[in-house]
Each structure stands twice: as C-alpha cells, then as structure tokens.
Structure 1
Amino acid sequence: MWFPAASRRSVLLGGLVLTGTIAGLVRPAAAWAAQPGFKVPPIIGCDAWGARPASDVVPVWDQRPVRIIAHHTATANVEDYSRAGAEAVARKIQDFHMDRRAWIDTGQNFTISRGGYVLEGRHRSLEVLRGGRQHVEGAHCTGQNVESVGIENEGTYSTVTPPDKLWARLRDMCAYICNQYGIPPTEIAGHRDFKDTLCPGDAFYAMLPQLRTEVANLLGEQLSERAARRASWPLLRPDSTGPAVEAAQHLLRAAGLVDVQPDGHFGERTAAAVRKYQQANRTEEVNGLIGGETWPLLVTARGADQDEVALAVRAVTPGGAVRASALPGMDEWKRLLSADRRP
C-alpha cells in the first residue's frame, strides 16, 4: 500500500560509498522450458508521467530479485480509467512518499492503475528490469526491498476484486518480471505475507493462487493446485476465530502474556496482548494484527514456555498430542497455520 514504513538503507559497502550501484552476488536465472506466451506490457516511465527527481541516489543492487510482492494502494476505487488519471495517481503517491515519509522517491517499483496502465514507480526500475540482471531497491516492504519487486495496484480490495483491465496488466507484468529474472511464479506474494497488514486486501489476496497459475501458464509452465496455493501465515485480527487463533494465544502465553485465554476467539484481550508483544519486539507496526511479521517472531521465540508451545502445535494438528521435543520448524509452522492444510 501507499503507507509501508521502510528503513533507509545506507549506500555503503566495506566503508566505500558507491555511485548508485551496490555490489552483490548475481543469482542465476531459471531457464524456462517454453517460449513465453505473454506480451510485454507498455510501461509509462517516470519522465513520461512527470515524476519529480529522486532526492538522493537510487540504490541499484547487482543481483536479481527473487520474488514479487503485490500491494493495493488502499485508495478509492475510482471509475476514472484514463491515462491522465493513472498519471495523477502516480504523482500523488510520489508526493506522499517524498513529502510525508521523507523517502528519496516513490516506494514501489511499479504501479498499475484501475484502467490497466502500468507506470514506473521508483526511478530506474524500468531500465533495470529491461536489463534483467540488477534490482532497484524500493521502500514498499521493509526487509524485502533489496530482493523483491513491489507492485502497487490502485484501489482497495478488501471486499471487491480488481477490475479486469488491472488484473490483465498485473498478470502480464508479473510474467514479464518472472521471465526477466527467472522468478518462479510461486514467488508472487502479498504484502501481508511479510508484514502485519491488511494489504493487499482480503479479496485480492485470495486471488493470488489464480495469479500464480495464470502467470505460470503464460510462461509455459504448469502449477499444481497445491503449489499455486502455497502455505502462508494467516492474518489474524479482532473477531478472527479458529485453530490458528488458539495457537497464537498459546504462543503469546508461552512468551509470558498469561492473561490471554486460549479460547480460539480473537477478542480485545488478545489484541491488547499482541500490541504489547509487538511493542516489546519493536515490530514495524503496533496494531494488534498477527501477520507475516509477528508470526515468525512468535514461533521462533527463545526462552518460551515449551509446554504452551506444544499446546499451540496441538491446536493446529488434528488428531494428536505433540511432544515439546518434536516442535516444528518455520516452514512446518507456516503449513500448519495456513488456512488450507490439505495434504
């Protein structure tokens, strides 16, 4: 979304100031089995939509990104599908990011309007994408900016899905990015996969398996239903219910927040405990949501009460007890907590 906080990374390496490019390892691109069946979408560059100059050197890393992160702008679902409307949105985003967030430029690498116009976000993102060997560091998702391409999608998609024009451009844009960098379509993620945020909206997020499948098809690949779904951290919020909530409550108790009752209902007491936990762990947002930032902290906490951790595992493991000495690792936790735990 427009409003992710992102730390300003230094353009220093080994004590040397670099002139816009940060040295790093180049990851080999995947070799696709078939010729791409997609059309490279037209992309409106920063100069064409009237972007302001960046206020500092835009960091460019000598490595390919490994995933794409989809966002929504959390703005009105306007009916202005024109190019002029798309360019106005790009300018508003840049002004907000530079003037209110004090970032050097627009945070995301690309923006797609509701009318299906694709615009370059951060300067040099288009040039570098065309080269296929480097990546422009953005500011769209802290912890992921060096290795992920960020795409903002205009609108709010909590209860409604994106317009067809936006969806078609997003699909083509993801296929182009995946082809350029050798990114598997399974590595198309949502903002909430890494942060405690509603972004990119419930309705949009639910469509990501479809997006992965459609992008794979354009690249001449096939994804199984399971691969397209991929395990993900469930986003818990007030009034959420179920096994994942109960597991989170046990994990909060394991961390010493024993006022939480493990009843499987995310009430205010649980939300208050989550905010307290987030504050203690200095998460980016202290908002009481449990998403892609707080879950990894909870499941890997050191010094936690292992009996409570075992109860957390049991809550999401149908049919049996779990020994405290046989607790899952991060990937297994994610699978267990995922809303869809089919084999």
Structure 2
Amino acid sequence: MRPDRVRVPASLMTLVFLVTCCAPARHGFDSRHGGDAPRLASLRPLIVPRTAWHAADVTTKPLYDHSVKAIFVHHTDNPNDYDCKRDVPAMLQAMEDRHVHVLKWDDLGYNFVVDKCGTIYEGRAGGVDRDVRGAHTEGFNIDTVGVAALGNFGPGQPLPRPMLEAIAAIAAWKLDQDVDPAGRVRLVSSNSESRFRKGTSVELNAISGHRDVYETDCPGDALYAALPWIRRTAAALRHEVTWAAG
C-alpha cells in the first residue's frame, strides 16, 4: 500500500532548492567543525533538508565520526511508480516512522535518500556537512555513509540515470580526500551479525552495495550491477577538480 500523499506547493520546493544550493564553484574546503574531514566545496550537490519533507524532531544527540571511508548503496524496496514531487515527502515520513517505531532506531537510518528523479534528501539528522554515523549497514556504520535509492531495483527494473548520477555525486563529495571512489578500502566489522565476525578486517570497494557485508539482496540486482558505473562517475567528478592545499 502506498503512503498517503503530501502535497508540497511549488513555491515551497522552489525555496528549498534556493536555500540548499551548493557552495560557490571554487577550489577550496568547506569550513568544518568537530574534527570532520574536509570536503571539496565545489563538489557539494543540492540536498533537500529534513525540514522540507517534515521529518520528526530528533531528541537524541547524533553520533559523529571524523572520516568517511566508504559509501554503502541501498534501495528502499518501495514501488517505483511514485510521483517525485507529490509522493516523496510522505514516503520518507513512512520510512522514518518504521525505522523509529518498528526497528526502534533513534532516527532514519540512511544518511541520504535519492529519488528516481535525482533529488537528494537529507536523511539522518546531524548536519549534511558532518560525518554523521547512520544505522544503515549492520557492522559497518562506522566511518561510512548510507545512501538509499528510493524504489525497488531488483532484476529487470529500469535504472533512472538522474538517480545514478545523484548517488555518484554524493560519493564524490562525501568520501575522504585520500579515498579513490573507484578504489578499495579496508574496514573492520563491528558486529558479528554482518557477513564478517566482529573485529574482522575486510577489503571492500569504496562504493559498495549493502549485500557486500550483509545477507541481503539490497540494493537489488539491477542497482548492484550499476555500481561500477557509479564508481567511475564519482572518480571522474573528483578528477575534474583539484584539492586546495589547506
């Protein structure tokens, strides 16, 4: 069953994109606080804030890391026939409600959610420019970011190009400066409920699928097969800019 629709006036959506536009296209670092790793300002994509989709207030204090070594890609398993403008806020609210009241998490698990039209939504609270620890990938939430594609991208499902480009854009921006989006990284499992016993050091792609570390079909066969393209695209975005010194 599809969630009740929430209609967002066009004027509000216009305002959303005005206030969340990316930083000026310049070679330099975002000003960060709390010890988070620096990000290249010119790579920051447009991100719709939690207030725009009427996320619930979070009463617990976010947990922060100081590094993003990997991106884990998920799908939400929703039907794909949603309307990007009318339906997405309600879908995000329903997802948040399930994560909090059914799964008993303190907030939406994913750091970002991307719809089929390529719009990027802020997920877990704490600040999109900060390294907020999510609840997206059992055993591998530390120093990683969870990006969920809104929909079901199992075998034979079409893959919207804007959605793939948005995932690549997040990865290019959020991964640490010294991490190659097309390369490999080493992470340590923090929970034996993953595919790897707690304490096991695992070499993974810097942009991986949920199934790489957990017994699941997520992010679906079609989206998983597109991960090499996402890695190459994120690496190309990085290649187009030069990191400033300091």
TM-score (ref. length: structure 1): 0.49
Match of 1:170 among 167, 170, 187: 167
Q: State the distance in 1 between where 2:112 and 2:43 align.
A: 17
Q: State the distance in 2 between where 1:28 and 1:176 align.
A: 11
- 1:189 equivalent to 2:218? Answer no
- 3-state DSSP of counterpart to 1:123: coil
- Equivalence for 1:218: 237
- 3-state DSSP of counterpart to 2:84: coil
Q: Deviation per CA, 1:71-122: give whole Å up to 9, x if none.
A: 000111124122x322222211111101111110000101001122111100
- Equivalence for 2:133: 137
- The structure-2 alpha-carbon separation of the partners of 1:149 and 1:181, relative to structure 1 and needing over 3 Å to count, comes to farther
- 1:56 equivalent to 2:60? Answer yes
Q: State the distance in 1 between where 2:124 and 2:177 align.
A: 18
- 1:107 equivalent to 2:109? Answer yes
- Equivalent pairs counted in the alignment come to 183
Q: State the distance in 2 between where 1:43 and 1:137 align.
A: 18
8 A contact 2:208–2:227 mirrored in 1? yes
Q: Which has the higher contact order (CA 8 A, sep 6+)?
A: 2
Cα displacement (A) at 1:29? 6.9
2:140 aligned partner, one-letter code: Q
Structure 2, unaligned runs of 5 or more: 1-33, 184-205, 241-246
Q: Deviation per CA, 1:2-55: give whole Å up to 9, x if none.
A: xxxxxxxxxxxxxxxxxxxxx9xx79779xxxx99x753210111222110124
- Equivalence for 1:156: 152
Q: State the distance in 2 between where 1:208 and 1:174 align.
A: 11
Match of 1:71 among 70, 74, 93: 74
Structure 1, unaligned runs of 5 or more: 1-22, 129-134, 222-343
Match of 2:84 among 81, 101, 106: 81
Provide runs of 4+ in structure 1 moved above 4 Å.
Answer: 26-30
1:73 aligned partner, one-letter code: T
Q: State the distance in 1 between where 2:64 and 2:36 align.
A: 15
- 3-state DSSP of counterpart to 1:70: strand
Superposition pairs of residues 290-305 of structure 1, within 5 angstroms: none
Q: Which has the larger radius of gyration?
A: 1
- Equivalence for 1:319: none
1:188 aligned partner, one-letter code: I
8 A contact 2:72–2:210 mirrored in 1? yes
Q: State the distance in 1 between where 2:103 and 2:92 align.
A: 15
Q: State the distance in 2 between where 1:117 and 1:182 align.
A: 27
TM-score (ref. length: structure 2): 0.68
- 3-state DSSP of counterpart to 1:166: helix
Q: State the distance in 2 between where 1:79 and 1:90 align.
A: 12
Q: Provide the alpha-carbon RMSD of the alignment.
A: 2.4
Q: State the distance in 1 between where 2:229 and 2:159 align.
A: 13
Q: State the distance in 2 between where 1:173 and 1:196 align.
A: 25
Cα displacement (A) at 1:56? 1.6
Q: State the distance in 2 between where 1:191 and 1:42 align.
A: 24
Q: Which has the higher helix share?
A: 1
Q: State the distance in 2 between where 1:77 and 1:45 align.
A: 22
8 A contact 1:58–1:104 mirrored in 2? no
Q: State the distance in 2 between where 1:138 and 1:154 align.
A: 17
- The structure-2 alpha-carbon separation of the partners of 1:181 and 1:108, relative to structure 1 and needing over 3 Å to count, comes to farther
Q: State the distance in 1 between where 2:212 and 2:115 align.
A: 23
